[in-house]
Structure 1
Amino acid sequence: MRKSFIFIALLAIAGLVKAQTMEKLPIDPQVRYGKLENGLTYYIRHNAYPEKRANFYIAQKVGSMQEEDNQAGLAHFLEHMAFNGSKNFPGKKTMLNYLESIGVKFGANVNAYTSFDETVYNLDDVPVVRDAIIDSCLMVLHDWSGFIALKDEQIDEERLVIKEEWRTRSGAQYRIWDKQLPVIFEGSKYADRMPIGKMEIVENFPYQTLRDYYHTWYRPDLQGIVIVGDINVDEVEAKIKAMWSDIPKPVNPAERVYFPVPDNDKPIVSVITDPEAVRTQVTLYIKHDVIPAETKQTQEGLIISFIKSLASNMLSDRLEEISQKGDAPFAASYAYDGEFFVSKTKDAWTTIALSKEGKVDETLASLIRENERIKRFGYTDAEVERAKATLLEQYENMYNNRNKELNNRYVQEYVRSFTGDEGIPGIEYEYDFVKKFAPFINAQAINAVVKQLIADKNIV
């Protein structure tokens, strides 16, 4: 992995703050984090806002990227089957009928999603007014983790359901992505793994193929339980340990591979039109290697995250200023640095704009020009100070409102920690750390990072 932009940034900072040891980030003391002997990871947090409510999640480090060519669509199919009967909730409607009886409705509070590298199931806003409800929700997660029924007749029924979902979801956005992925991910498995899958496989795969996929990939070392709400942490932890003890540690498990995205010397260009598209979006990606997990979870990673936020916020401000002019070619624009589209193995400095009618070329030219201006001349000290003040204000607001955060905000943070190796030191630690280091982060440090991010290759 190329880590040059990280080290250049740190060298710039080191000249101002002298020698600093970049320590590993602590885990927020408000979170009960642990891992069972079988590999299952869990995050539990008491949060009484709102009272007597809790969210129950299970995240799987498994998605469409774990499918072979003859399995395209099985990850998403399996997500559907999780609601069609399990060990402790037999039959097609047993689980959903029970959840609805306690006020947890399918779609609104009970749902799941399948992506390229993960599948996440959720029970949201559960009224935890009795211990029996908590026990039952834990049992639902337990059954999803390793005891989905996968009956022949239910598989056949679901084939028709998914085909109808594919038909109704085949709108403009789906068709655009379906055409874009093979172009922008050429040479990578991401090019051919839309989670909805391929209908000729969905309609015809043998029953055992789905069961084999399930037992290969749904296993405790790839699963994370996240529970946040008005619950007793000690009691819930004890129940998780007892309940998941019947799932053994996998023996000789299949390797969970994160598939690479190749570099490109010449720009990759994808132009897709669709008669039902309601807007014209121009996106400029400049790919770079991801920050290693061991760096993300250190103070070094926190500094880099802070610097990249400042850099992308300042570019967004410049683009916003342009969009306010009468002759602007785009109506809105913003920048960020994060995952390259859907990839876990490549990040990108990303600039997006909504082009005005007939102004695509001018919009793209504006994005390129503003990025080149930053690469050559950087940001000014005045811009940096304004951006730091704004970001510090955001941290202060989060700190001041830390006791009024809804369960879902914490849940999403812990799911990202599990699936993306992000640190979770907590807002108290982050706010204190950022206040101490912000005075030492200047235009020199930020411009050193940006010069590495805005490269002449890896452009899409």
Structure 2
Amino acid sequence: MKKLIMRSVMALAVFAGLSLPAKAQMQPQPLPVDSAVVTGVLDNGLTYYIRHNELPKGQADFYIAQKVGSILEDEHQRGLAHFLEHMCFNGTTNFPGKGIINWLESKGVKFGVNLNAYTSIDETVYNISNVPVASKAVQDSCLLILHDWACEVTLDPAEIDAERPVIHNEWSQSMVGEMRLYEKLLPVIYPDNKYGERLPIGTMEVVDNFPPQAIVDYYHKWYRPDQQGIIVVGDVDVDYIENKIKEIFGSIKMPENPAPREYVSVEETPGTIYAIGADPEVKASNVALMFKSPNLDLPREMRNTNYYFMLNYPKVMVSMMMNNRYADIAATPEAEFAKARIYAGDFFISKTMPALTLDVDPKGGDVIPAFSQAYRELLRAVRGGFTIGEYERAKSEFLSRIERAYEGRNDVENGSYVQEYVDLFL
């Protein structure tokens, strides 16, 4: 049988050092930006992305993405990033009290549905979606809301105290089985590292007791133009929106001597870390094996280049061939797992360490036979490679995916474009 031999799936970790053909051994070239997207960076460091799109007709999405999350908190600040997200809906200079919620709901934008936000470890993102934008005044007001979130949240002490029990109730509702497992396992997965102890919900000791000035200081330290991206996609005049962004956001001042935004590094592991947890509320079992691979990705500054796409293709093919094998096995009576897959991505919740992950869901509650079967199949691929037929199948699926995307290029909704630009910025 003809074989397409790959010395090791773990060779993915050194793709960045592959010897490329002569024609490829030129300087990496940046890929062109989609001509339909208007992007720019203001003098104060704020980045923006604007695109005209008419799906749905007459509507637009307005986002502000912040490179600010719970990882930036010190121990006595745990929970402030998430608390601050709540406070952005409790009064700003131009929209006092519940003004943002009330005004947008009067325009058909419902809080919790089209008006929302989320706080993560390394980011916070606010969205006003599916806004009817026939009126320029509505567009201006949505941009003004983003502006106020960026620099004009009032953080009234009375509103802060009123929000403490709201956060506490959210903590009570979220502290269910899976979250309890996270709290138990993260310090093991990330020993002596902030990623192990920075779930966005924070600690209730901090939430219940921090002085109002603490969140004011946190806000002015981290919510600043060089960490903010404005994204507007929809049925709008791009030139008009760009000029308005320059007018509304250009006057925001950068703080003097801004604190450096450093991303927390994750150490390589000497030996194997294992973390095991159980909770009565978690009925399904899962096991994941993660190979930390520092060289699995090119540096961020090289990812929008021809090199990245050339080096990414083998990773995609290996993942597709391996996952096709797993799907074929799962369809047989002898399968011990309901689902298994590998993927190249981040090491769990951290953005600074790439990893190759094997993820397995057993058919029953016993993870040992399911994981053993999936791991043996991974080792078989490492040692024996893949067949030409497996590669042709994966390549055909990959090309079909690209063709479908191309054929549907005129049917992309606002939200899909927005997510691409948010991810690009972050």
Specify if TM > 0.5: yes
The answer to whether 1:80 aligns with 2:80 is no
What is the DSSP-based 3-state SS (H/G/I as helix, E as strand, rest coil) of the residue aligned with 1:307?
helix
Select 2:218's aligned residue among 193, 197, 213: 213
Q: How far off is 1:20 after superposition?
A: 5.3
- The one-letter code matched in structure 2 to 1:389 is S
Select 2:307's aligned residue among 300, 314, 319: 300
2:61 and 2:233 in contact (8 A); partners too: yes
Distance 2:273 2:121 in 1: 21
Counterparts of 1:32-431 in structure 2, within 5 Å, are 32-91=38-97, 93-289=98-294, 290-419=297-426
Q: How far off is 1:281 after superposition?
A: 1.1
Distance 1:19 1:178 in 2: 46
Post-superposition, which runs of at least 4 consecutive aligned residues in structure 1 deviate over 6 A?
A: none
Q: How far off is 1:139 after superposition?
A: 0.6
Residue range with higher mean Cα deviation, 329-338 or 350-359? 350-359
Identity among equivalent positions (%) equals 46
- Indicate the RMSD between aligned Cα atoms, in angstroms: 1.6
Q: Deviations over 1:241-277 (max 9, x none)?
A: 0001221133210011100111112111111111111
Q: How far off is 1:378 after superposition?
A: 1.9
Q: Deviations over 1:140-180 (max 9, x none)?
A: 10000011010000000111100000001111111111111
2:285 and 2:365 in contact (8 A); partners too: no
The answer to whether 1:23 aligns with 2:32 is no
1:185 and 1:191 in contact (8 A); partners too: yes
Q: TM-score, normalised by structure 2?
A: 0.94
Q: Deviations over 1:309-345 (max 9, x none)?
A: 2211111111111111112111112221111111010
Q: TM-score, normalised by structure 1?
A: 0.87
Residue range with higher mean Cα deviation, 176-185 or 356-365? 356-365
2:70 and 2:198 in contact (8 A); partners too: yes
Q: How far off is 1:367 after superposition?
A: 2.7
Distance 2:164 2:27 in 1: 55
What is the DSSP-based 3-state SS (H/G/I as helix, E as strand, rest coil) of the residue aligned with 1:338?
strand
Distance 1:8 1:327 in 2: 40
Q: How far off is 1:368 after superposition?
A: 2.0
* 1:450 corresponds to: none
Distance 1:232 1:250 in 2: 32
- The one-letter code matched in structure 2 to 1:299 is N
1:87 and 1:147 in contact (8 A); partners too: yes
2:13 and 2:293 in contact (8 A); partners too: no
Residue range with higher mean Cα deviation, 38-47 or 273-282? 273-282
Aligned in 2, Cα 1:202/1:19: closer, same or farther, shift over 3 Å?
closer
Residue range with higher mean Cα deviation, 383-392 or 66-75? 383-392
What is the DSSP-based 3-state SS (H/G/I as helix, E as strand, rest coil) of the residue aligned with 2:356?
strand
What is the DSSP-based 3-state SS (H/G/I as helix, E as strand, rest coil) of the residue aligned with 2:209?
coil
Q: Deviations over 1:378-413 (max 9, x none)?
A: 222221121111111101111111110011111111
What is the DSSP-based 3-state SS (H/G/I as helix, E as strand, rest coil) of the residue aligned with 1:246?
coil
1:330 and 1:359 in contact (8 A); partners too: no
Q: Deviations over 1:408-433 (max 9, x none)?
A: 111111111111xxxxxxxxxxxxxx
Distance 2:26 2:228 in 1: 36
1:180 and 1:270 in contact (8 A); partners too: yes
Q: How far off is 1:304 after superposition?
A: 2.2
Q: Deviations over 1:179-210 (max 9, x none)?
A: 11111111211011010000000000011000
- The one-letter code matched in structure 1 to 2:176 is G
Aligned in 2, Cα 1:40/1:326: closer, same or farther, shift over 3 Å?
same
- The one-letter code matched in structure 1 to 2:129 is D
* 2:5 corresponds to: none
Distance 2:14 2:56 in 1: 42
Q: How far off is 1:4 after superposition?
A: 6.5
Distance 2:255 2:147 in 1: 16
Distance 1:323 1:189 in 2: 37
2:12 and 2:315 in contact (8 A); partners too: no
Structure 2 gaps of 5+ residues are: 1-10
Q: How far off is 1:18 after superposition?
A: 6.4
Q: Deviations over 1:94-144 (max 9, x none)?
A: 110100000100111010000000000001111112111111110110000
What is the DSSP-based 3-state SS (H/G/I as helix, E as strand, rest coil) of the residue aligned with 2:250?
helix
Aligned length: 414
2:284 and 2:365 in contact (8 A); partners too: no
What is the DSSP-based 3-state SS (H/G/I as helix, E as strand, rest coil) of the residue aligned with 2:288?
strand
Distance 1:53 1:306 in 2: 36
